A and B are shown apart, each in its own frame.
Chain A
């Protein structure tokens, strides 16, 4: 190679036509310096490759980062990309039921079919409640569970008859504790590597379980996505049709579904036929508004609950909250994570869609503020790429990149338990 270059320069006649390219002769010293630089560049690249790949495969924080990176495309695209197939674990899906004091508990378990790698010796387990309603056939939930399992985790999706019936019940905590213990003893899962993940109304149930003395010292983490912190402030925001974020009040209009869930949850505690009237008003085919004659037939406490849900008395919200029956107020208090937050030992991660129309983002902000006040380990991120807890179809590239970074940070923290 050197000779060829040398010949070209030597053979160049002194009277070179102007159109011909001029070859500048490299002195041996300059060539030597260039080669030296190339050598050191190659050595630097090799050192970088070694350090990066060693960190990413040997150190727990590196492995957590790899896991977070591997699940990110599947989460953002709402389907696992085909190019990831070679690096993801093959998955087995099994279904089981448990019998809890409140009824049957339905479990969908997604687990890698390969044996547990000797390092770190045990898998991470995630117990997931996808919220109210029967979500077991939901494509995004299945994709989410499969994506997590593909990165080497055991994922257990849980639902109960109460949740399937679109209601919230604090007694479902028993089902969560039971399922947590089953997951802890699942083949390959480390007993101290099991975390809780609650979507929407599943979040509060996870908090109640994480505060339970039977398991609270064993829970690796609690993650809440689109959950509420206090059922009273949630009802207050719904009643006002406005939320307060960073001291500023702005209009907020909920979709009908959370109103239906709250009506169904409160209904059994209302006197006479009021519960049925309230539940049917907010049912999917209901009118969502009662005429004056029907409202007049309701007991004052039932009418207050109706006005709060319907949002037709936004200036009377505090009066209506005060008019609720003691039973309803006790129920709302019992359904609030705010009452148990100081009993939770595990770190808490909060995620919320900033324009969530199911549960206002102010709930997670309030949760984060309380955790900061308690000096509890937590992290909080707001997103624009989700619609409540599902991936929004029309997110822009810059938003995907921005929110992807926050999601990556939180996913890395969650993945630490099993790495």
Chain B
């Protein structure tokens, strides 16, 4: 039961991080069709994955912190990839 609460906390943190990423305009311009939903889902998925990895690698106590930084890191990736791709295209 307590593990379910933990997973729920990771999920909540992931969605919150996704919402913050939306506010921070980290949604790539190419994601036009329900892009906001994809960003929230990305936050949720990354957070759950990070939490699971944190649980296994660092222990139960640190899994929530691990889920949060993983979510933030993954949420920045699409925007970063878009920026790099745009730079590459402009050089060519």
Residues of A in contact with B, size category: 20 to 34
In the complex, A39→B27 CA distance in Å?
Answer: 12
Do the beta carbons of B23 and A39 come within 8 Å of each other? Answer: yes
Which of chain B's residues has its CB closest to A54's CB? Answer: B69
Residues from chain A with Cβ under 8 Å of B57 in the complex: 117-119
Closest to B66 in A: A57
Cross-chain contact B2 with A42 (CB below 8 angstroms):
no
Write the nearest CB–CB distance from A415 to chain B, whole angstroms: 11
Is B6 touching A56 in the complex (CB atoms < 8 A)?
Answer: no
Q: Give every chain B residue within 8 A of A45 (Cβ-Cβ).
A: 20, 24
A53 touches B69 (CB 8 A): yes
Given known A54-B69, A57-B62, A66-B61, contact A46–B20 (CB-CB < 8 A)? yes
Interface residues in A218-232 by Cβ distance below 8 A to B read: none
Q: With the chains together, A52 CA to B62 CA distance in Å?
A: 12
The answer to whether A57 touches B69, judged by C-beta atoms less than 8 angstroms apart, is yes
Please report the C-alpha to C-alpha distance between residue A49 and residue B6 in the assembled complex, in whole angstroms. 18
Known: A53-B68, A57-B65, A87-B6. A152 touches B24 (CB 8 A): no
Q: With A54-B69, A56-B65 in contact, is A46–B60 under 8 Å at CB? A: no
Asked if B11 lies at the interface with its beta carbon under 8 angstroms from chain A, I say: no
Q: Which residues of B contact A117 (CB under 8 A)?
A: 56-59
A46 close to B2 (CB less than 8 A): no
A88 at the interface (CB under 8 A from B): yes
Pair B68/A86 contact, Cβ less than 8 Å: no
Within 8 A of A (CB), among B8-26: 9, 17, 20-21, 23-26
Say what secondary structure dominates the interface of chain A. helix
In angstroms, Cα B58 to Cα A152, docked, is: 10
Q: Which of A57, A88, A89 contacts B58 (CB 8 A)?
A: A57
Size band of the B side of the interface?
Answer: 20 to 34
**Chain A's nearest CB lies how many Å from the CB of B62?**
4
A50 at the interface (CB under 8 A from B): yes
Q: Are A66 and B62 in contact (CB under 8 A)?
A: yes
Would you call A63 an interface residue if the criterion is a C-beta within 8 Å of the partner chain's C-beta atoms? yes
Cβ-based interface call for A241 (8 A): no
Q: Is A38 an interface residue (CB 8 A)?
A: yes
- CA A45 – CA B76 in complex, angstroms? 13
Q: Which residues of the partner chain B approach A294 to less than 8 Å between Cβ atoms? A: none
Pair A46/B72 contact, Cβ less than 8 Å: yes
Binding site for A on B (CB under 8 A): 2-3, 5-6, 9, 17, 20-21, 23-26, 54, 56-66, 68-69, 72-73, 75-76
Contact surface of A with B, Cβ cutoff 8 Å: 38-39, 41-43, 45-46, 49-50, 52-54, 56-58, 63, 66-67, 70, 85-89, 114, 117-119, 151-152
